Amino acid sequence: MIDIFAVFFGVILTFLIVVVLHELGHFFAARLVGVKPEIFSVGFGKPIWSRKDRHGIIWQVSRIPAGGYVRFVGDENAASLSSVADGPVIDGSLKAASKSAQAFVAIAGPLANVIFTVVALSVLPFMSGVTAYPWTVAHVTLSSDVTGLRVGDQIVAVADADIQSQDTLSSVLTGLPAHSEVTYQIVRDGSPRAELAPRPDLPLIGNVAVGSAAFEAGMQAGDLLQTIDGQTVNAWSDLQRIVAASNGDPMTIVYDRQGVPMTTQITARQSDGRWLIGVGGLPLFTLATERPAFGDAVQSGVSRSWDLLTNLVTGLAGSLTGQNDSCDLDGPIQIASVAGQAIQLGPETFLLFLAIISLGLGVLNLLPVPILDGGHLMLLGYEGATGRPLGKKMQAVLFIGGVTIIVFLMLTATVNDLTC
């Protein structure tokens, strides 16, 4: 069930953070090169609060919390339309600054978003910790009589694959054979030994969503899946694969509940283009964590940011060229829903969500559309190549065209949210 308050709060907080950071990038870059900001606005429309500081800059909060802007001396509007247009040069305006300074101010907003993403992803390891090495069992979901594993066991190898310091549980899972049990090489009380136990990603249900197909079928947390329509379920990935292929047809699920075999019929339901039965998994064990070294955390933040950036650019290019499924383009409804879910899952999940949205905002703003920062860079490039600014009428035409493109993309994404 959607928590409307969480969605509303998550969306507002997301805009406040990523948009204000973006505009602060423009603001401080302008101050560095001598461009004078007149207004720093959080939101659009009529101000509901404003204050002028000792530098004459008006700080305001406006009625529509769907963005924000910095208006500089000489600007006609929040898009800085007149900054490279024909007309008198006003001291302290963007037009009065050098072309390199104007480009620096334009790119500083997206750069602020990228920097935030790197910082956020560098902070996350300190919040959640990183897996300690050697791997040490911190908690076992099932009793040691069933698993053979105990708290404090050091895991040296899983299914003959030695555990290295850089290994994560997810990386180890990708190499496991398709069996329900694997051999763990462990060290217990200083003595090496082997234990045959369930695989770490066994199909053990950790939670059942209220009102879901699994809930109505009577499934409970702690149930251990065995087969679906006669197909053996060894791992959580098997469940996901079989349910995804069901296409909404009824499935017969056999599972174990505290040693008692049980059977039920379940029909998956579609949500966001995926077939789901409404259950979450529970790993066999959790591993002890530790605080990372500062350098390792920063390296991880940079690496994860680069991976995100690569995926975003590739995905955006695919959407714009028609190579990707149009349903891959999420709109405001889906983003709002994810924001609400992220804020309910805790600060770590919400910070990760903010990092992704911030990077996405930075990349989107670099598109060569006049209403965006990339459009300002495009106009500056034109002026640098021709030696004269683009005329004011042509800027207005491009501005309207840019707004049309952005509105079209937003409408397309919104339709995707409602139909995909």
Q: What's the CA gap between 100 and 81, in Å, rounded? A: 18
- Which residue in the list 23, 38, 195, 348 is annotated as catalytic? 23
Q: Is 23 designated active site?
A: yes
Report the relative pairing of strands 154-158 and 130-131 from DSSP bridges. unpaired
- Rounded to 5 degrees, what are φ and ψ at 131? -60, 125
Contact 140, 284 (CB under 8 A): yes
Name the CA radius of gyration of the chain, rounded: 27
Q: What's the CA gap between 329 and 312, in Å, rounded? A: 11
Q: What's the CA gap between 7 and 332, in Å, rounded? A: 11
3-state SS class at 71: strand
Q: What's the CA gap between 101 and 413, in Å, rounded? A: 35
Q: What's the CA gap between 153 and 286, in Å, rounded? A: 11
3-state SS class at 416: helix
Positions annotated as catalytic residues are 23
